[in-house]
Structure 1
Amino acid sequence: MNKNVKILVADDHPMLLKGLRDELIEHNYNVIEGAVNGAKALDIIISQNPDIAILDINMPLLTGFEVIKKCQEKSVNTRFIILTSYKEKGFVLKAKKLNIAGYLLKDEPFIEIKNCIQAALNGDFYASKEFDEIFSNEISPQLKKIKFLSPSERTIVRLIAQEKSSKEIANLLSISVRTVQKHRSNIISKLDLPNGAESLFGWTQQNKELFLTL
């Protein structure tokens, strides 16, 4: 029964917060006090231990991701659903790494929120179709390539992303410029990129979020 499912909604836009809470209440969910910032959401989750917390990402004081991480550190049993407008790869990857229950875009119909809540209660992951497409088509293929890089090559990729030159990288790692250039060549080959320094630098800027957390 929906009335047995305790839900918290947190969003810093009062109209969106009220609209979603009203919709959930209309469908007989047990909706507790809403939160307009991340710190308030964290306090409510820890004190009231809701079954589900539906969080926006970009909130004052603490982001949705920061709330989730702090709750996981405290071994809170609440299952988390992100409801957001963000479609960027970095946000999608963070959501995957936090092992949340759902990731929905704000323009989805309410039936999708109901489906996501049910999946979360069953211990499953549920996401907007666009989320799955971004992960499957843009993130997963690049992650597979990154796994072929050695630890030394990953370090060099991070430094390239920071706009360090081959000479600067060589000095930082106490290796020769020639060794750095050889690493660059191997990295370009493993990532299946066109030859040339610009292609590798461009790749690091487009995929920075993917390897900085590996």
Structure 2
Amino acid sequence: MNENFRVTSDSETYQYTTRLMQSEATSYAYQSWRRKWRGKGMEYTAGALIWQLNDCWPVTSWAIVDYYLRPKPAYYTISRQLAEVAVGITRTVIQNRDHDRPRQFYEFGAIQSHGARIDILGMNSSLQSIDAELELYCVDLNSGWFHKETRGVHLLPNQSTELISMPCPGPPKTSARKDADPYKVPEWTNSSSVVVSARLINSSTGEVLARHADWPQPLKYLRIPDPKITVKEV
């Protein structure tokens, strides 16, 4: 857990972090399994069992609902991934050399990244194909830069559909630093602080059919700006 989240000695923060980690992990797992239901002749994963749903006594566990029947964050992420229509995002970081660190890590010593690729997929469990608008929205946490585009997409029935594979958008590069080592990476990445969000929207009604957001990893390195939101109890 400490590789992706900041170390804390505060009990409430630690408990929240464990639930967030569970939510992130289960969301990625169910998305990956469902993605492998690719259509005729490519039904590599046909389903997954949720273990476990709820606790039968107050305890620390991997259940997605606690003993008092309070849903944890993982309950909602799994529900979203297993909805009849869902959208998912995977990010592959491109680095200057192979190494034994998780691929989502952007920088580690001599390991430097110079880009990332995002793959967006749609999942449709109904028996009818679906025409929709795919809304892609990217925002940089450091500069406020954003990018938005919309594309028409077609989801095949009862399978996953690969929708987009593209370089991860990012703000303009302000420097032209060159890598001095033999690997000759042209420039460092400009997407390591970019959040990518995708929504599937019904073309006729404007209804949001599915949504998903991909945050750059590790989360502990992000400096999230204050959204300046005020909540008042009425």
TMscore range, shorter length? under 0.3
TM-score between the two structures when normalised by the length of structure 1: 0.24
Higher strand residue share: 2
Question: Which of the pair has the greater relative contact order for Cα pairs under 8 Å at 6+ separation?
Answer: 2
Which protein has the larger Cα radius of gyration, Structure 1 or Structure 2?
Answer: 1
Higher helix residue share: 1
